Amino acid sequence: MAAGQIFGLGVGPGDPELITLKALRLLRAAQVVAYPAPETGDSLARAIVAAHLREGQREIALRFPMRPGPPPAALYDEMAERLAGELEGGADIAVLCQGDPLFYGSFAGILARLAPRYRVTIVPGVSSLTAAGAVSGAAIVQRDEVLTVIPATLAEDELTRRLAGVERAAIVKIGRHSAKLRRVLAGLGLIDRALYVEHATLPDQRILPLAEIDEGAVPYFALVLVRGPSR
Amino acid sequence: MAAGQIFGLGVGPGDPELITLKALRLLRAAQVVAYPAPETGDSLARAIVAAHLREGQREIALRFPMRPGPPPAALYDEMAERLAGELEGGADIAVLCQGDPLFYGSFAGILARLAPRYRVTIVPGVSSLTAAGAVSGAAIVQRDEVLTVIPATLAEDELTRRLAGVERAAIVKIGRHSAKLRRVLAGLGLIDRALYVEHATLPDQRILPLAEIDEGAVPYFALVLVRGPSR
């Protein structure tokens, strides 16, 4: 029996209508649907496509620990082996990826392990970055502007170094790093140029100046857009 | 009569299947469809959605000059007035945007002029960036990596300054700037870390090391991904 293939499908930032025709077609064709999920509880990627799942599709929740820092390599090894078992059995697997699979997605860890052995197709999706831009109602970046995309997980001095003199920036992975980020941006005189966007395109979406957020309640799926002074 | 509204629709990077359900629905509902086009010849944004256009939809080609540099403000003023005329007549207008409307899109110029007077909805799309990542088969950016997005239109010294010590970079708007870009990357020791992606997701897509391209034939819709040394 021929091995199955794996499809890394970007399902978009949250609004179920922001999935592409291609991701939807390949999702519905797959025998197995896998998705990232927290250690306990529901997967947001699955929720985005819930209305489109077919009767009889088998599901695999890829559960990631909520601990700070990147997931251990051994966890990716284990997930990859579980998926490989399905592929060896001949099943095609759709791996759901919130936003885009390769823009800060956990799919990269799966891809690195399975691409040498199996056929992998990647379908790009609407990223959290362009979703945040759309709901903010202003250009993310235009003409000859430079955009820097920075994870808030970086150390404070590194964040400061990267954000100094920035033209346009998008800061991802905010979560518990919001207080540090606010200090850095305030120190650089950029705090009033920072827009906070939470759960862009979802019903509970929030958009407000970063200076006004309640630091205690910032989720992982939040993003900050910074519009620095013009050159 | 109530004024119409304007929809800035990201139609994705080129593969017609990479349009979202939302963009497709709003495209089909609009009375007028507008799209960027060269001074003479066909619009790529229109070609992407050609199969979905309805009988009876009126079309407006927004023709941009092929000259180097940003289009003059007067041209955007004129386009905005033409669209405003349709909106005043009660028509809803879908403005097609290749990739994403606000990620280096010409839609920003329309938006700035019409948003103060009319209702504007922006639907994010799959950008050229995530499309290039998908066809390259490797992560654009992951974990705590920083991504810098840089237009090749910058002056050589500015390009050099921005690319020095870069971790992950995407260089957009290549076109006639490829020779300059190659010089800059070679000078920084990054030329062998640069992947050239042309017309990602279209049938004539090409992916090759930047060092191997024929400089005479680089289109505007090409992108270079740079994977710098790890921290």
- β-pair partners for B42: none
Do residues A166 and A226 lie in contact, with contact meaning Cβ atoms separated by under 8 Å? yes
Which of B17, B140, B153 is closest, CB to CB, to A102?
B140
A-B contacts at Cβ under 8 angstroms? 182
Residue type at B86 in one-letter notation: E
Question: Predicted ipTM?
Answer: 0.96
CA distance A142 to chain B (A): 4
CA distance B52 to chain A (A): 12
What are φ and ψ of residue A167, in 5° steps? -90, -65
pLDDT recorded at residue B218: 87
Nearest 5 degrees, angle CA A197-CA A179-CA B145? 70
Helices assigned H by DSSP within chain A: 21-29, 44-49, 73-88, 107-114, 128-136, 156-163, 178-187
Confidence (pTM): 0.96
Give the mean pLDDT of chain A. 95
Taking only the tens place, the pLDDT of each residue in A128-164 is 999 999 999 999 999 999 999 999 999 999 999 999 9
Inspect the interface and report whether the beta carbons of B130 and A10 lie closer than 8 Å: yes
Which of A108, A127, A138 is closest, CB to CB, to B130?
A127
Chain A residues inside the 8 Å CB shell of B125: 126, 130
List domains and CATH numbers for chain A: 6-123 (3.40.1010.10), 128-227 (3.30.950.10)
pLDDT recorded at residue A1: 77
Local confidence band at A197 (pLDDT 50, 70, 90 cut-offs): very high
Taking only the tens place, the pLDDT of each residue in A1-54 is 799 999 999 999 999 999 999 999 999 999 999 999 999 999 999 999 999 999
Helix, strand, coil abundance in chain A, percent, nearest 5:
35, 25, 40
Which of B15, B19, B21 is most worth mutating to test chain A (most A CB atoms within 10 A of its CB)? Answer: B21
Inspect the interface and report whether the beta carbons of B103 and A146 lie closer than 8 Å: no
Inspect the interface and report whether the beta carbons of A12 and B20 lie closer than 8 Å: yes
Give per-10-residue mean pLDDT for chain B (231 aa): 95 98 98 96 96 97 85 93 98 98 96 96 98 97 96 97 96 94 97 97 96 85 92 68
Kindly identify which residue of chain A lies nearest to residue B70, measuring between CA atoms. A143
In this structure, the number of other CB atoms found within 10 A of the CB of residue B84 comes to 18
In the predicted structure, residue A66 carries a pLDDT above the cut 80: no
Phi-psi region of A197 (alpha: psi -120 to 50; beta: other; left: phi over 0): beta
